[in-house]
């Protein structure tokens, strides 16, 4: 197996220096959606034909997923930076490297296709971002209902189709919660099952729509009725197809928030504006002017008013934008209440933002932010993907410079993040050698605090 390597230098030892008081202007291109690309890569296992995927973002999570697929016999040809051809003709059970599975929760997506194509699968329990418990009981329960026997042993999930049958069997599954990952796992398991499957209380995120569209191009029969019910009529085999990954709504949202926080005007494209409705509504409420033209969004911000947000499954406010939006509220006029309802530990950025002078009271995943006039640049280490983005946004608005570590998280989900910010005029630079522990900003007391927060 030829693995794709990550950056030559380890982003764990890199930092970005950001000079504050920044103003952004201009236009940037939004990359393909990480969360779509990951599941579409797994869905490509469902056919022996070639699958052509375009608009694949160049991210460390995607490189890990490609390496996972290669470890089970899949050939991946990189045509250019954003286009790949996947050939799963020689799919086998293989030995998926544990470290990749532990680092990437999306690795678990392979279980549905492996069960459908090979009748069995064995995967280490998945890992992912440091944002709290991320159970998989909805995935397991649904697969069992589709006719799989599943046992968890020594950190592995071993699955096989019951009674030596060749196909899973369609059924009615009602999810206990509208889990995005479980909905995707069960769709991929059910498309090749015998008979009809209904998934009720399914998640409605745009990435699920993207998955269904690609599978239907491959010959699957998936229909969505109303909102949270998915009807699948199993087929015997699927064909290859060409599919373009949808634009990343979370990357798009992060840049809109960065523009608002720095009182700037920027344009982003391509985007699917309806995927961003809940954020756009909150940005307008907080004082930004938003102009939508076809697949582009322009934002102009001259003031920031405090507004409240509460995360919710799509079409509600995305949990992935909660941390960046909190960074926007730091210098708002008045108070804002930010409530995280999806993940139990997605407030890692709060303590770090307070180190910059933010006034935030955090109780039970509810952050009450009182706007302040000024933030001070500090040396900070992000502990998960979106909290690191939040720190970068706060650093752009601070009075002096900051050094941000935790880039291994940022590189999981944002393609060319600092390059795009630089293009918009930010004074930002990745330092490949210096990190917080050996630079002149070092403050031992503060670093001890940060280490504690990072470890928590």
> Minimum CB separation from ligand UD1 for residue 100, in Å?
14
135/155 with CB nearer ligand UD1: 135
Report angle CA 190, 196, 197 to the nearest 5 degrees: 50
Structure tokens at 447: 């670093």
Buried-state track 97-107, b at ≥16 Cβ within 10 A, e below 16: beebbebbbbb
Both structure tokens of 446: 């503060």
b/e for 147-158, b at 16 or more Cβ within 10 A?
A: bbebeeeeeebe
Gap between the Cα atoms of 109 and 99, Å rounded: 16
Q: Which residue has the tokens 């020689």?
A: 90
- Element holding 216 (H helix, E strand): helix 206-217
What is the CA 121 to chain-centroid distance, rounded?
25
CA distance 38 to 35: 5
- Euclidean distance between CA atoms 179 and 228, whole angstroms: 11
The one-character DSSP state at 48 is S
Helix (H) or strand (E) run with residue 43 in it = helix 34-43
Kindly list the residues in this chain that would bind ligand UD1 in the complex (CB under 6 A): 35, 38, 105-106, 133-139, 177, 179-182, 203, 207, 319-320, 342-343
Strands of 216-280, DSSP E: 221-225, 229-233, 241-244, 265-269
Q: Minimum distance between the CB of residue 133 and ligand UD1, rounded to whole angstroms? A: 6
Dist CA 150 CA 139 (whole Å): 11
Residue 212 known to be catalytic = no
Which token pair is 138? 């909805």
Query: To 10 degrees, the CA torsion angle through 110, 115, 119, 125?
Result: 70
Of 129, 177, 212, 241, which one is the catalytic site residue? 129
Distance in Å, CB of 73 to ligand UD1, minimum = 23
Q: Which residue, 28, 29, 54, 22, is CA-closest to 40? A: 54
Query: To which residue do tokens 């706060």 refer?
Result: 394
Q: How far is the CB of 320 from ligand UD1 (least distance, A)?
A: 5
Residue nearest to ligand UD1 according to CB distances in the complex:
181
343/417 with CB nearer ligand UD1? 343
Closer CB to ligand UD1, 319 or 379, in the complex? 319
Q: Which is nearer to ligand UD1, 34 or 355 (CB)?
A: 34
State the minimum distance, in angstroms, from the CB of residue 227 to ligand UD1: 16
- CB of residue 415 to ligand UD1, shortest distance in Å: 15
CB-based contact 22:427 (threshold 8 Å): yes
Residues in the chain: 456
Neighbours of 288 (CB within 10 A): 24
The nearest distance, CB 425 to ligand UD1, in angstroms, is: 29
Distances (CA, A) of 256 to 161, 247, 260, 358, 424: 46, 14, 6, 21, 12
Smallest gap, in angstroms, from Cβ of residue 207 to ligand UD1?
6
d(CA 208, CA 224): 11
Q: Which residues are catalytic?
A: 129
């Amino acid at each position: 197996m030829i693995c794709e390597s990550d950056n030559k230098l380890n982003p764990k030892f890199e930092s970005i220096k950001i000079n504050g008081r920044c103003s952004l202007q201009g236009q940037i291109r939004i990359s393909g959606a990480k969360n779509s690309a990951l599941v579409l890569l797994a869905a490509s296992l469902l056919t022996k034909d070639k699958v052509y995927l375009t608009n694949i973002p160049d991210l460390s999570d995607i490189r890990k997923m490609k390496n996972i697929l290669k470890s089970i016999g899949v050939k991946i040809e990189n045509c250019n930076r954003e286009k790949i051809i996947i050939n799963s003709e020689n799919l086998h059970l293989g030995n998926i490297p544990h470290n990749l599975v532990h680092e990437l929760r999306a690795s678990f997506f392979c279980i549905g296709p492996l069960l459908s194509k090979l009748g069995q699968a064995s995967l280490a329990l998945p890992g992912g971002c440091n944002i709290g418990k991320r159970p998989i009981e909805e995935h397991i329960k649904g697969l069992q209902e589709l006719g799989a026997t599943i046992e968890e042993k020594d950190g592995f999930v071993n699955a096989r189709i019951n009674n030596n049958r060749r196909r899973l069997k369609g059924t009615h599954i009602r999810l206990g919660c509208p889990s995005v990952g479980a909905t995707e796992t069960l769709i991929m398991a059910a498309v090749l099952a015998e008979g009809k499957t209904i998934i009720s209380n399914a998640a409605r995120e745009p990435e699920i729509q993207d998955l269904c569209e690609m599978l239907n191009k491959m010959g699957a029969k998936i229909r969505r009725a109303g909102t949270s019910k998915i009807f699948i009529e199993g087929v015997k085999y699927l064909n290859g197809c060409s599919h373009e990954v949808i634009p990343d709504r979370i990357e798009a949202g992060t840049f809109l928030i960065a523009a608002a926080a720095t009182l700037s005007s920027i344009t982003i494209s391509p985007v699917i504006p309806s995927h961003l409705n809940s954020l756009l509504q909150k940005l307008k409420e907080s004082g930004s002017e938003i102009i939508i033209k076809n697949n582009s969004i322009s934002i102009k911000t001259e003031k920031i008013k405090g507004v409240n947000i509460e995360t919710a499954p799509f079409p509600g406010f995305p949990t992935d934008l909660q941390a960046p939006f909190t960074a926007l509220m730091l210098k708002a006029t008045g108070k804002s209440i930010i409530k995280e309802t999806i993940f139990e530990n997605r407030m890692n950025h709060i303590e770090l933002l307070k180190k910059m002078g933010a006034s935030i009271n955090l109780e039970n995943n509810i952050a009450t932010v009182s706007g302040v006039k000024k933030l001070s640049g500090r040396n900070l280490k992000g502990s998960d993907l979106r909290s690191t983005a939040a720190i970068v946004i706060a650093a752009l608005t601070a009075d002096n410079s900051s050094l941000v570590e935790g880039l291994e998280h940022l590189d999981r989900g944002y393609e060319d993040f600092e390059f795009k910010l630089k293009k918009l005029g930010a004074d930002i630079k990745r330092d490949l050698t210096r990190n917080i522990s050996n630079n002149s900003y070092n403050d031992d007391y503060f670093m001890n605090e940060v280490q504690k927060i990072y470890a928590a």
